[in-house]
Amino acid sequence: MTPSRFLPSGAILSAGLLVSLLTTEAPAQYAGSSAITNWSGQCSGSTRSWWDDMCMAWRHKMGDKGWVQWWRNYNLVQGNRYADNSAKSWGIDDTGSGMDWNDAGLMCLHGGWGSGRWNGTIYDKDPDGSCAASSDKMRLGWTSGGWLRFMHFSSCNSIRYDQRTQWFDAAAGVHVVTGFHGLMYIGSQYVDEYRDLADDGMNSRGVARAWLDKMHHVDHWYNSYKTICPVAIGFGATSQQARDAHDETYNGHWAHPTPNWMHTRWNSGCDPDDGPPLPN
* pLDDT tens, residue by residue, 27-46: 789 999 999 999 999 999 99
pLDDT average, residue stretch 4-14: 46
Distance CA 162, CA 205 (A): 27
Share of the chain above pLDDT 90, in %: 87
pLDDT of residue 168: 95
How many C-beta atoms surround the C-beta of residue 260 within 10 A? 14
Residue 73 or residue 26, greater confidence: 73
Degrees to nearest 5, angle at CA 72 with 193 and 165: 65
HEC string of 94-125 equals CCCCCHHHCCEEEEECCEECCCCCCEEECCCC
pLDDT at 24 over 50: no
Distance CA 265, CA 234 (A): 9
Choice among 1-5, 15-19, 153-157 with the minimum mean pLDDT:
15-19
Distance CA 41, CA 247 (A): 40
pLDDT-derived band at 221 (thresholds 50, 70, 90) equals: confident
The strand ranges marked E within 176-225 are 176-181
Q: Is 252 exposed, middle or buried (0-12, 13-18, 19+ CB in 10 A)?
A: middle
pLDDT average, residue stretch 92-100: 98
Residues paired with 164 in a beta bridge: none
pLDDT of residue 12: 43
- Is 3.40.50 the CATH number for 29-266? yes
pLDDT average, residue stretch 15-22: 40
pLDDT of residue 22: 38
pLDDT of residue 223: 75
Q: Which residues contact 69 (CB under 8 A, 6 or more apart)?
A: 13, 14, 30, 31, 32, 59, 60, 62, 63
Distance CA 26, CA 31 (A): 16
Distance CA 38, CA 48 (A): 7
Distance CA 270, CA 227 (A): 8
pLDDT average, residue stretch 10-33: 57
